[in-house]
């Protein structure tokens, strides 16, 4: 491995190292993968309006998420089955997040249990929840997460059925031998049967509750005192309902372009969701964040922080815990540099006027809002 200088470089290394079935599962989006490309491309259409001659000798990137102080607004999204990438799997991710002073979100479909991840040591962790048809299973799991010290639930709301990921269908994707969905092992739901298509799609069709609706956000609040983040909001309408339903926060996400294809990139959807939330709850974003400049753009459009998905599994595959640490460090360094070069010393100094988007007034016309 030569010197790694940016987050994206880990993808090619992961592709070389991993079995095709595993790499394809991590990398793929749904159907035409239009949204997958758009999640990246949309960032490149947003430009900076940097301010100059500001003393940037001290940069403070710290922030608070649901009352928890973290070192930077860069957090880890839930990605399933991390032991396919590296034997240390979720343990490595948990340790890397903790040493970077940031939050890890553990997937329901992790190959390590909530208790195992908690045993890696201190750290602020959120638990991502998929709601199963069997609500006793859900209630038990939420209770276990709470007891294991998890601080919030990220309720994934974009997956009543699994998106059509054609590579997984062709590969007949299934969990490799020796691995299970560890949180469900004792509940006899930890295995994924082989199927005539994606084994995961069949598992979802069999187990996940398609009737899930807003009233279930209330139900979830009745069984836990953990705050609930609604993960998968793309419209102002749903942002308003999420707030009314008692959500503690909103994650603008298109599931890494793995669910409905031809939804907009999350960075394009962000501003309307922020408007819909009316400042009543924090709005976060995930999808396509690969550079410190991307983090800055999201914050300028109103995000309180971002999450990364694929960079974690690719760097895990390449170099285990050290890889994930390096990804977090590179994003941190790039983000700090972006702040300095745009004249922002704290996150609150990042404003809408530090960027210009395609949907702003064309240049040459009356000046932007000041």
Q: Which residues of the shown chain bind ligand FNR in the complex (CB under 6 A)? A: 26, 39, 77-80, 107, 109, 128, 156, 231, 253, 255-256, 258, 286-289, 308-310, 313
- Residue 170, C-beta contacts closer than 8 angstroms, at least 6 positions apart: none
Choose among 296, 288, 250, 303: nearest CA to 34. Answer: 288
The residue number with the shortest CB distance to ligand FNR is: 309
Cβ–Cβ < 8 Å for 342, 48:
yes
Choose, from 95, 125, 151, 255, the residue flagged as catalytic. Answer: 255
Least separation in angstroms between residue 215's CB and ligand FNR is: 20
| Closer residue to ligand FNR in complex, CB, 56/197 | 197
216: which 2 tokens? 């279930």
| Closer residue to ligand FNR in complex, CB, 265/342 | 265
The DSSP H or E segment spanning 231 is strand 228-233
| Closer residue to ligand FNR in complex, CB, 202/356 | 202
Q: 């187990």: which residue's tokens? A: 207
The DSSP H or E segment spanning 203 is helix 199-207
Least separation in angstroms between residue 228's CB and ligand FNR is: 13
Least separation in angstroms between residue 364's CB and ligand FNR is: 34
Least separation in angstroms between residue 294's CB and ligand FNR is: 10
Strand 228-233, strand 249-252: pairing: parallel
| Closer residue to ligand FNR in complex, CB, 291/356 | 291
| Closer residue to ligand FNR in complex, CB, 162/300 | 162
The DSSP H or E segment spanning 269 is helix 266-277
| Closer residue to ligand FNR in complex, CB, 217/356 | 217
Choose among 75, 84, 180, 62: nearest CA to 123. Answer: 75
Least separation in angstroms between residue 54's CB and ligand FNR is: 31
Residue 255 known to be catalytic: yes
Query: By three-state DSSP, how is residue 284 classified?
Result: strand
Least separation in angstroms between residue 362's CB and ligand FNR is: 30
Torsion of CA 198, 202, 207, 212, to 10 degrees: 80
Cβ–Cβ < 8 Å for 242, 233:
yes
Task: Determine the Cα–Cα distance for residues 335 and 39; give it in Å rounded to an integer.
Answer: 19
E strands, 258-349, in order: 283-286, 305-308
- Residue 108, C-beta contacts closer than 8 angstroms, at least 6 positions apart: 78, 80, 127, 128, 129, 130, 141, 156, 181, 183
| Closer residue to ligand FNR in complex, CB, 63/82 | 82
Query: By three-state DSSP, how is residue 156 classified?
Result: strand
Least separation in angstroms between residue 258's CB and ligand FNR is: 6
Cα separations (Å) of 263 from 65, 79, 253, 258?
A: 27, 20, 10, 10
**What are the residue numbers of the active site?**
255
């Amino acid at each position: 491995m030569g010197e790694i200088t940016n987050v994206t470089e880990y993808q090619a290394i992961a592709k070389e190292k991993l079995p095709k079935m595993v790499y394809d599962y991590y990398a793929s989006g749904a159907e035409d993968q239009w949204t997958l490309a758009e999640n990246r491309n949309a960032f490149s259409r947003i430009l900076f309006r940097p301010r100059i001659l500001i003393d940037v000798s001290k940069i403070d990137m710290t922030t608070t998420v649901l009352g928890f102080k973290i070192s930077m607004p860069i957090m880890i999204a839930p990605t399933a089955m991390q032991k396919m990438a590296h034997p240390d799997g979720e343990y490595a991710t948990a340790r890397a997040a903790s040493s970077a002073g940031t939050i890890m979100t553990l997937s329901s479909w992790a190959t390590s249990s909530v208790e195992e991840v908690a045993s890696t040591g201190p750290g602020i962790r959120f638990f991502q929840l998929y709601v199963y048809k069997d609500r006793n299973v859900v209630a038990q799991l939420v209770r276990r997460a709470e007891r294991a010290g998890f601080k919030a639930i990220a309720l994934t709301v974009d997956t009543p059925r699994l998106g059509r990921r054609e590579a997984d269908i062709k590969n007949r994707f299934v969990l490799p031998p020796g691995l299970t969905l560890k949180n469900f092992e004792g509940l006899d739901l930890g295995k994924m049967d082989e199927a005539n298509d994606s084994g995961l799609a069949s598992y979802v069709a069999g187990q996940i509750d398609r009737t899930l609706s807003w009233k279930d956000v209330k139900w979830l609040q009745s069984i836990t005192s953990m705050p609930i983040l609604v993960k998968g909001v793309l419209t102002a309408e749903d942002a308003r309902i999420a707030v009314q339903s008692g959500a503690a926060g909103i994650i603008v996400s298109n599931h890494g372009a793995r669910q409905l294809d031809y939804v907009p990139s999350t960075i394009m959807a962000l501003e309307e969701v922020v408007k819909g939330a009316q400042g009543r709850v924090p709005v976060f974003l995930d999808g396509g964040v690969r550079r410190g400049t991307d983090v800055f753009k999201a914050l300028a459009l109103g995000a309180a922080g971002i999450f990364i998905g694929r960079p974690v599994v690719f760097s895990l595959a390449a170099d285990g815990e050290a890889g994930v640490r390096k990804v977090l460090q590179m994003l941190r360094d790039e983000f700090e540099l972006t702040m300095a070069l745009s004249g922002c010393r704290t996150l609150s100094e990042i404003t809408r006027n530090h960027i210009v988007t395609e949907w702003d007034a064309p240049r040459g016309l009356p000046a932007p809002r000041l």
